[in-house]
Amino acid sequence: MRFKIRIMIAAGLVASLAACANTTTPGTPTPAETGGGSTKGSPTTGAQPSTGDDVDIAKFADKPCDLVKSDQLALLGRVRETKPGTNTLGPMCTWKGTDPTKDNTYELSLVNKGPTFDSMSENFRDYPIFRETTIAGLKAVSVDRTNGTSSCETLVRTSAKNAVFIQTVLPATGKGTVEQSCQASEKVAAIVIGNLKG
């Protein structure tokens, strides 16, 4: 349920941005900072074109769960078996922690239903946690709409139209930190991008 609410919020923000005439995009990515603060870039006007670094997500649209290989699942910790599905962003896969008080839960979405990296990241810009970074050489942001101590989301630009979105929820202990949540989210994003690149 928590993931569904987060997806609906993200999709709603993107829809409201689409109603505006101007779309802005973040500037040059900077390394993710440590601590609970935000890292703000200077936005530039206009959509970013495709680059030679683009990564094709289409071949995994019907099998998003394959983007974390069986021998890589241990890197996620103790997670339950999963199967692919869809949400408002596109194809998705959820790896639920075996014990919600001890294990992380992750959700992967392949963003191919309209929202783009540029529109989503611009909507995320006012979140308390907003960190520009790179994942496997690709532009990315890690964000959270609260303080990042229980969850973090990492969005990676794969092309002008598509992206990879990782949502991470830490164990429900109340002892999490933004470093733990965003590092976990970025780790899974790196695994996914690595497998997309082959």
pLDDT 10s digit of each residue in the chain, 198 long?
Answer: 555 545 544 545 444 433 433 433 333 333 444 334 444 443 433 455 555 689 999 999 999 999 999 999 999 999 998 989 999 999 999 999 999 999 999 999 999 999 999 999 999 999 999 999 999 999 999 999 999 999 999 999 999 999 999 999 999 888 999 999 999 999 999 999 999 999
pLDDT at 174: 85
Residue 70 vs residues 66, 148, 170: alpha-carbon distances, Å: 8, 28, 22
Sign of CA dihedral 176, 181, 183, 188: positive
Q: What is the pLDDT of residue 19?
A: 40
C-alpha distances (whole Å) from 38 to each of 128, 136, 142, 183 are 6, 21, 10, 15
pLDDT of residue 53: 84
CATH 3.30.1560 correct for 2-24+53-197: no
Three-class secondary structure of residue 18 per DSSP? helix
CB 150 within 8 A of CB 176: yes
DSSP-derived secondary structure letter, 146: S
Is the alpha carbon torsion for 56, 59, 65, 67 positive or negative?
A: negative
**Phi, psi for residue 94 in degrees, rounded to 5:** -120, 130
Whether the full predicted model's pTM is greater than 0.95, yes or no, is: no
